Structure 1
Amino acid sequence: MGHLIYAAIGSLDGFIADKDGDFSFCRPSAEMHAYLNARDRRVSADLYGRRLYQVMQFWETFAVAGEEISPGAASDPLFEVSRAYGELWRGRDKVVFSTTLDDVDTARTGLVNHFSPAAVRQFVDDQPGDVSIGGPTLAAQALRAGIVDRIEYYAFPVVIGAGTHWLPAEWRHELRLIEEHRFLSGVVHTAYEVARSG
């Protein structure tokens, strides 16, 4: 039985992208990427909203085994941990929730046009590992439905003032801090247990 985890990366004031949709201010360091990889090894499936899925499609072809890599890239620590993440991503099942997509073009990926909290919770409970849910719109539905087990945030030491917030408006809930970690870059990771409804 797995846990449903919503993790996001963003600014100190809680935005995962600025008002123009740019999220380059929260690019992980090699140290942070290695940490993310270690945590992602517990994940057996990903649930995505359309926009995040379209961003994550990058990993379908990034540094695929057998592809020629330049000597400079091969010696870059960030490249190595990024390549390892690509292998993890390609090795997991993925489900995309969208009412506008007609098809998906990555392997091990299903498409669902309706979010059912009961069906999602059953899917999570049937998994051998944890399940990540990504994209603030999709995550908001799961949070409001009370089916998320844990939320995690990687706060970059930057304030951007406006943009896409990682948590839904008017969602109020008691949380219990269960983990925290600081990176040399100044990023702070916190993980909270969420009391599920029912």
Structure 2
Amino acid sequence: MGRLIYTCITSLDGYVADADGNFDWSMPDEEVHAFVNDLERNTGTQLYGRGLYEVMAAWETMDTASEPPAIRDYAAIWKGAAKIVFSRSLLSADTSNTRLERDFDPGAVRRLKEESGRDLSIGGPLLAAQALRAGLVDEIQQLLSPVVVGGGKPFLPDGLQLSLELLDERRFNNGVVFLRYGILPGTAGRPGGG
């Protein structure tokens, strides 16, 4: 059975993008990128919301020949992974190994986890919020950037309460801190739980 893992690069105050939608402050350096590659390398299927998918789809055609090794490596990882995009407004998902689903069905995602021999990742805070509230997420992995943006798109939804267990942590030379938390059984998706 695969675990569903929510991983995101955030500001110190918990946003994935600032109030203007910018996230250039979150671009990883070579060391952090190589670390993220190793996290993603073990993922069999990536679940995306529309917004994040549209950003990530650039990896499909990006010319990485002259890029650093971590960039080239990530492009290969992204192209090789199975991807499911959840969107009612996206007309098509034309990247390799990608299928489009109109609705997020918690039961179908639960079955996907049960049938998977590898971990799954979920990306995009709105999609992740649905999975967190449905009790489907097993781990939260956060890469905290040394910046405060003062508002924007939050990493976690309002009103969600979870009990977590710290599983791992790492500090990088550029000031980014990686935190890996397991969601304790019985608390995931429970309104007011924790």
Q: Which residue of 2 aligns with 1:86?
A: 75
Helix, strand or coil at the partner of 2:63: coil
Which residue of the other structure, out of 146, 151, 165, is the alignment partner of 1:162?
Answer: 151
Alignment correspondent of 1:97: 86
Q: CA RMSD in A?
A: 1.3
Matches within 5 A, 1:48-87: 48-63=48-63, 69=65, 73=66, 79-87=68-76
Distance 1:196 1:96, change over 3 A: farther
Query: Which whole-Å CA distance do the structure 1 matches of 2:130 and 2:183 have between them?
Result: 15
Q: What TM-score does the superposition give when structure 1 sets the normalisation length? A: 0.91
Asked if 1:42 corresponds to 2:42, the answer is yes
For 1:1-198, list aligned pairs within 5 A.
Answer: 1-63=1-63, 69=65, 73=66, 79-197=68-186
Does the 8 A contact of 1:30 with 1:81 survive in 2?
A: yes
Aligned identity (percent) is 45
What is the identity, as a one-letter code, of the residue corresponding to 1:88?
Answer: I
Maintained 8 Å contact 1:62/1:83: no
SS in 2 for 1:7: strand
What is the distance in 1 between the residues matched to 2:32 and 2:113?
A: 26
Dislocated runs of 4+, deviation >2 Å: 195-198
Q: Shift of the alpha carbon at 1:63?
A: 3.2
TM-score by length of 2: 0.93
**In 1, distance between residues paired with 2:185 and 2:105?**
16
Distance of 1:120 and 1:195 partners within structure 2: 19
Q: Is the 8 A contact 1:148 1:196 kept in 2?
A: no
Q: Name the CA distance, whole Å, in 1 between partners of 2:52 and 2:185.
A: 25
Determine the structure 1 residue equivalent to 2:191.
none
Shift of 1:127: 1.6
